């Protein structure tokens, strides 16, 4: 441990929100990160949901080295061969039929900004419909369509943004009976509200196939199919933000494949770069030609960089060669089963949900009221970290207290068992401490 560097972090770095740890970190490999005390911690968030094939996978290290022997960066108008290869690989092997034109940038926010610009230019409209609980980025356009992040204090958002209630099977806004009927009732109301307010210039509907930051909410397939029809009926483009759902995380190639619905534009990021900044915006040839003729511009300093493309190709090869899409289904089923065992023992675990290795565990005060248990969530998360397990918990009052659990697709059954054992002990100790506190 270097106390001087800890002091430097406090003195010289801007605090940017979210969870903050007092220690610094020095190394990451596979499913394990190591802090400046030498302590090893199981990482069940894959970094920021990015290290899909594990931290510092040898294939990624080799890809970075390969880029170093050729080029990390070029003039933005010079298309590297490896970028062309990545575009071809996505179109031929990973995307739904028809999505074959790719733009490669750095972050998910950038890829969503590009998608929104394409939609507005193509349609001639500017109105965008998003869902509650969404997170599409913190840049100007993307923050205006994000509703699981802080929106207060940053001035006037981009105009023309509308929100509709998200489908939440555990605590539906409209309880119409079944999960599917409740979700469709939310959609119907949201569309009616949009139609009443629209100035007649619709452009896009944007949604995550699994609403992650909103609590790992999985919309029914009928909801996504109805959303596709709603976009078509209004002349809007349907955008899927697949930052977390593409390339195997949920046990399918994409969220589009899982739902059986093809969007007009798909944004990808986290799961493509494997821990390095790489994102893409993929659309149809017809839309690409339309926006090109209208002057589409997204000319940035690091568009089409060869380094990111080398890494993206390496990530996709590993996912294919190691059969990680199938493994996400298998290991996701195993992890979910272990979490459901805990649910049987703890009244405070109200719901276990998700797909593949993107799972959510919701903590409640009791199962009848389903009121969020923020105290238990915060206390248990801290205990888990102290015991060697890192998990991300969403504690917004309106979103519940939900762990997002997303280990690398390479996670082993032994690592799952260790993580569940830590979670079990942390929950038990936290509940005991809270009971003693109430008694006092």
For the sheet containing 127-131, what is the strand order? 101-105, 279-283, 265-268, 237-241, 202-207, 127-131, 161-164
Whether residue 208 lies in the annotated active site: yes
| Residues ≥6 apart with Cβ < 8 Å to 334 | 413, 416
| Distance, CA of 181 to CA of 70 (rounded, Å) | 55
C-alpha dihedral over 248, 58, 321, 260, to 10 degrees? 10
| Distance, CA of 153 to CA of 403 (rounded, Å) | 27
By C-alpha distance, which of 16, 44, 24 is closest to 388? 44
**Cβ neighbour number for residue 96 with a 10 Å cutoff:** 17
| Distance, CA of 324 to CA of 74 (rounded, Å) | 32
Q: Which of the residues 120, 270, 327, 379 is marked catalytic?
A: 270
Q: 66 burial class (0-12, 13-18, 19+ CB within 10 angstroms)?
A: middle
* Range 227-231, long-range pairs (CB < 8 A, 24+ positions): 227/187, 227/261, 228/261, 228/262, 228/263, 230/187, 230/191, 230/205, 231/204, 231/205, 231/264
- For 266, the token pair is 């798909």
| Distance, CA of 140 to CA of 226 (rounded, Å) | 29
Q: Which of the residues 94, 244, 249, 264 is marked catalytic?
A: 244
Whether residue 244 lies in the annotated active site: yes
By C-alpha distance, which of 255, 296, 318, 266 is closest to 91? 266
By C-alpha distance, which of 98, 115, 97, 120 is closest to 284? 98
Query: Is the distance from CB of 109 to CB of 136 less than 8 angstroms?
Result: yes
- Cα 78 to the center of its chain, rounded Å: 31
Which of 195-216 are b and which e, b meaning 16 or more Cβ less than 10 Å from the residue's Cβ?
eeeeeeebbbbbbbbbbbbbbb
Q: Which of the residues 43, 135, 362, 394 is marked catalytic?
A: 135
Q: Which of the residues 43, 241, 264, 288 is marked catalytic?
A: 241
Label residue 322 left, alpha or beta by phi (over 0 means left) and psi (-120 to 50 means alpha). alpha
Whether residue 135 lies in the annotated active site: yes
Q: Which of the residues 43, 127, 208, 305 is marked catalytic?
A: 208
Whether residue 403 lies in the annotated active site: no
Q: Which of the residues 228, 336, 399, 404 is marked catalytic?
A: 404
| Distance, CA of 235 to CA of 251 (rounded, Å) | 32
Query: Is the distance from CB of 247 to CB of 263 less than 8 angstroms?
Result: no
Residues carrying an active site annotation: 135, 208, 241, 244, 270, 404
């Amino acid at each position: 441990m270097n106390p001087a560097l800890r002091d430097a972090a406090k003195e010289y770095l801007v605090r940017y929100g979210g969870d903050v740890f007092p220690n610094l970190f020095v190394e990451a490999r596979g499913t394990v990160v190591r802090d400046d005390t030498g302590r090893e911690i199981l990482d069940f968030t894959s970094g920021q949901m990015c290290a899909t094939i594990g931290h510092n996978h040898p294939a990624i290290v080799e890809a970075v080295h390969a880029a170093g022997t050729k080029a990390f960066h070029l003039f933005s108008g010079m298309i590297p061969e490896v970028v062309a290869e990545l575009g071809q690989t996505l179109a031929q092997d990973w995307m739904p039929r028809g999505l074959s034109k790719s733009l490669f940038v750095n972050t998910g926010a950038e890829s969503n900004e590009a998608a929104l610009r394409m939609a507005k230019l193509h349609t001639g409209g500017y109105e965008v419909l998003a869902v509650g609980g969404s997170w599409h980025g913190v840049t100007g356009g993307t923050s205006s369509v994000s509703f699981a992040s802080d929106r207060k204090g940053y001035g006037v958002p981009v105009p023309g943004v509308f929100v509709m209630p998200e489908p939440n099977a555990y605590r539906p806004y409209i309880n119409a009976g079944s999960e599917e009927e409740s979700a469709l009732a939310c959609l119907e109301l949201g569309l009616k509200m949009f139609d009443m307010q629209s100035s007649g210039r619709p452009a896009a509907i944007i949604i995550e196939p699994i609403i992650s930051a909103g609590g790992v909410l999985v919309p029914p397939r009928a909801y996504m199919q109805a959303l596709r029809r709603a976009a078509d009926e209004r002349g809007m483009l349907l955008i899927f933000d697949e930052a977390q759902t593409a390339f195997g995380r949920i046990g399918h190639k994409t969220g589009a494949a899982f739902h059986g619905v093809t969007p007009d534009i798909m944004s990808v990021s986290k799961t493509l770069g494997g821990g390095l900044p790489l994102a893409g915006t993929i659309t149809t040839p017809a839309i690409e030609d339309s926006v090109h003729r209208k002057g589409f511009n997204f000319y940035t300093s690091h568009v089409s960089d060869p380094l990111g493309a080398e890494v993206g190709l390496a990530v996709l090869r590993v996912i294919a060669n190691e059969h990680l899409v199938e493994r996400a289904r298998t290991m996701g089923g195993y992890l979910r089963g272990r979490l459901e065992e805990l649910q049987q023992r703890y009244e405070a675990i109200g719901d276990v949900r998700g797909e593949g290795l993107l799972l959510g565990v919701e903590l409640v005060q009791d199962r009848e009221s389903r009121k969020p248990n923020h105290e238990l969530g915060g206390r248990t998360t801290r205990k888990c970290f102290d015991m060697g397990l890192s998990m991300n918990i969403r504690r917004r009052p309106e979103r519940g207290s939900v762990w997002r659990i997303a280990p690398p697709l390479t996670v082993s059954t032994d690592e799952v068992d260790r993580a569940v054992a830590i979670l079990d002990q942390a929950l038990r100790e936290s509940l005991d401490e809270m009971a003693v506190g109430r008694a006092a």
